[in-house]
């Protein structure tokens, strides 16, 4: 009985768990599933920099000292320092079971017409092994040692609060001109509670007046805002 009592009181852990020292990417989507990629756009960002946390998860026990991570980043069409900035000497901090590898994306003119990407790869080192490389889920199988980030400054669809009956057909040029002239946060266009009917009517009135002013400046041979004109036809933009 004494022996059974000792066995019953023993701490129950996975066998040899203390010997496991692995890491993997553990990035969740809103559906509570793991993803191995992100597709991002700057169109709703007021800043020219976007910080993207990529979560690295520990498999094993935390320790009381920092442990360096080995993460490589490659790209076919993006350049470090010009299109993105990476952390220097990333580590899993002492006592931590996870950390965010923070990738900073930079907005450039090329992103208006080009979708760029970069790939992060986890590698084993003297501190960590890669005990698992992929994860099977109900709908798919994803990598947990490779993570891709796609980014651009282009729209795929018009923002939810845009109403073509009130401010005309959607174009990215018109959207950016509105945000610049009226100092509207781009993200507000995805919130109908902010971009209300009254706000849309205000935008239509103000932007129509702005374009008319720019057309008058152009006709007089004075400096004008070229973004107020269609680059293909040279005609003023319309907001009705």
What is the residue extent of each domain of the chain?
15-152, 164-228
CATH of 15-152, one of 2.60.40.1250, 3.40.50.920, 2.60.40.2030, 3.40.50.720: 2.60.40.2030
pLDDT tens digits in sequence order for the chain, 240 residues long: 343 333 333 444 444 555 789 999 999 987 789 999 999 999 999 899 999 999 999 999 999 999 999 999 999 999 999 999 999 999 999 999 999 999 999 999 999 999 999 999 999 999 999 999 999 998 899 999 999 999 999 998 899 999 999 999 999 999 999 999 999 999 999 999 999 999 999 999 999 999 999 999 999 999 999 999 999 999 999 998
Give all strands of the β-sheet with 37-41 in edge-to-edge order: 37-41, 146-152, 116-123, 70-74
DSSP 88: S
DSSP 124: -
Q: What is the pTM (predicted TM-score) of this model?
A: 0.81
Per DSSP, helices labelled H in 38-183 are: 164-167, 172-181
Cα distance between residue 51 and residue 102, in whole Å:
6
pLDDT confidence of residue 18? 56
Residue with tokens 């729209």: 155
């Amino acid at each position: 009985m004494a022996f059974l009592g000792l066995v019953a009181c023993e701490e129950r852990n996975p066998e040899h768990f203390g010997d496991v020292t692995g890491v993997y990417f553990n990035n969740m989507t809103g559906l509570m599933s793991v993803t191995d990629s992100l597709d991002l756009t700057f169109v709703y960002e007021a800043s020219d920099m976007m910080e993207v946390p990529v979560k690295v998860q520990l498999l094993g026990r935390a320790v009381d000292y920092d442990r360096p991570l080995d993460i490589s980043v490659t790209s076919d069409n993006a350049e470090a320092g010009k299109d993105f900035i990476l952390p220097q000497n990333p580590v899993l901090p002492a006592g931590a079971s996870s950390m965010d590898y923070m990738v900073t994306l930079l907005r450039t003119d090329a992103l208006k017409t080009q979708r760029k990407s970069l790939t992060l790869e986890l590698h084993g080192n003297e501190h960590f092994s890669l005990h698992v490389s992929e994860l099977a889920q109900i709908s798919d199988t994803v990598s947990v040692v490779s993570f891709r980030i796609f980014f651009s400054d282009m729209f795929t669809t018009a923002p939810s609060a845009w109403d073509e009956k009130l401010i005309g057909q959607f174009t990215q040029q018109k959207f950016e001109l509105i945000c610049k002239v009226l100092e509207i946060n781009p993200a507000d266009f995805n919130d109908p509670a902010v971009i209300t009917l009254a706000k849309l009517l205000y935008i239509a009135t103000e932007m129509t007046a702005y374009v008319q002013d720019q057309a008058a400046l152009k006709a007089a041979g004075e400096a004008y805002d070229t973004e107020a004109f269609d680059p293909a036809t040279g005609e003023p933009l319309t907001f009705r």
